[in-house]
Amino acid sequence: MSIEIIGMVGTKEVSETRGSFDGALIDTGYLTRFARAHEAAGFDRVLIGYGATGPDGFAVAAHVLHATSTLKVLIAHRPGFVVPTLVARKLATLDQLTGGGRVAIHHITGGDELDQKRDGDFSDHDRRYARTAEFMGLLRRELTSAEPFDYEGEFYQVRGAYSSVRPPADEPIPLYFGGASPPAVEVGARHADVYMLWGEPVAQIAERIARIRAVAARHGRTVRFSLSVRPIVAGTEEAAWQRAEQIRSATARRIADAKAAQVQGVAVPIRGGRPFGFRMSSSVGSERLQRQATERDVHDERLWFGVTKLTGPGGNSTALVGTPRQVADALMAYRRVGVDTVLIRGFDPLDDVVDWGRELVPLLRELAASTPVGTEATALPA
């Protein structure tokens, strides 16, 4: 099986270490360059992120698709604010308008309580996952049903639901999903095509895959797995670790500035739908990363938690540090326990993509061709 390589695009140049939070949030020229850089570097797909204060992901995805020829998109979507039948038609329409087979959706149920409330969602953690389960089931039915249908659930009710625009049966729109809590595992195992995992040590990823597979098997399903990490790559291992320390220092300065601004009553910059460095989290996955970060900075020789420690509960922040070959070898260790998709994004977002296209991405393709997606995670640990 080949490897799927996903990147992530944004509408302006900003990260933990670079770019300004001031000024216009949408720079169409930058977004175009960013998308085309991924295509030129050999990425399969790019994630369009979601935040309650950010640009609309469907509109951003449309721009990316029309600015490129073959690059696919993965649109992050938070279930609960738009009915699934409408989301299904939006996806199918965008898919048809851009050649077919280039659109996927990533369901993020939400672990930031402040960001949920910005969009009027006051449901608790477990109830949100129950809603996501209904959403994904109804979304798939709308995308695939050849006849009108009725549905009566706790969160959604429809009569005569039907979409006249659907993806081809042999090229359906994939449903991605992420979440680490027991309710999340139930939802993802039952409804997801691809289950997305943050960058934890290999042993922990193997255990998580085993548990999700066991639940999926009870529903007669199989699920693919994706791993999200932040490569920090240089020509030598020493140079890569030096760069990691530079990233740590730059991130620390940025967070200190944000905290100082908050103390002085200045509006704190918004990053990814939440104040930079601040979050009211109910995310079990975030809690797992924070616990691992407190144990030590580095796991598995090169999985680095330096930025994770600084940014606190949040998203994809763990890094693999080393030469392109060392990082590619590290990712193959995850492949051997069941990961067949990687989502990689940089701390220098556009420049890193260009750099990875020279060596890291070709290496991942080469090594994946001779590294089968393993089943080492099929048995739960005693």
pTM reported for the whole predicted model: 0.92
Residue 379 covered by a domain:
no
Residue 197 covered by a domain:
yes
Domain count, the chain: 1
Cα angle value 179/184/190 (rounded, 5°)? 115
Residue 382 covered by a domain:
no
CB-CB neighbours of 311 under 10 Å: 23
Distance, CA of 195 to CA of 180 (rounded, Å):
10
Residue 377 covered by a domain:
no
Residue 135 covered by a domain:
yes
- What is the pLDDT at residue 381? 43
Is the Cα dihedral 299, 300, 306, 312 positive or negative?
negative
Residues 227, 205 contacting (CB under 8 angstroms): yes
Residue 19 covered by a domain:
yes
Residue 374 covered by a domain:
no
Tens-binned pLDDT, residue by residue, of the chain (382 aa): 799 999 999 999 989 888 877 788 999 999 999 999 999 999 999 999 988 888 999 999 999 999 999 999 999 999 988 999 999 999 999 999 999 999 999 999 976 767 777 777 777 888 999 999 999 999 999 999 999 999 999 999 999 999 999 998 889 999 999 998 999 999 999 999 999 999 999 999 999 999 999 999 999 999 999 999 999 999 999 999 999 999 999 999 988 877 776 655 544 444 443 444 444 444 666 677 878 878 889 999 999 999 998 887 566 889 999 999 999 999 999 999 999 999 999 999 999 999 999 999 999 999 999 999 986 544 444 3
Residue 216 covered by a domain:
yes
CATH code, domain carrying 293: 3.20.20.30
- What is the pLDDT at residue 270? 42
Tell me the residue range of the domain where 134 lies. Answer: 4-369
- What is the pLDDT at residue 269? 46
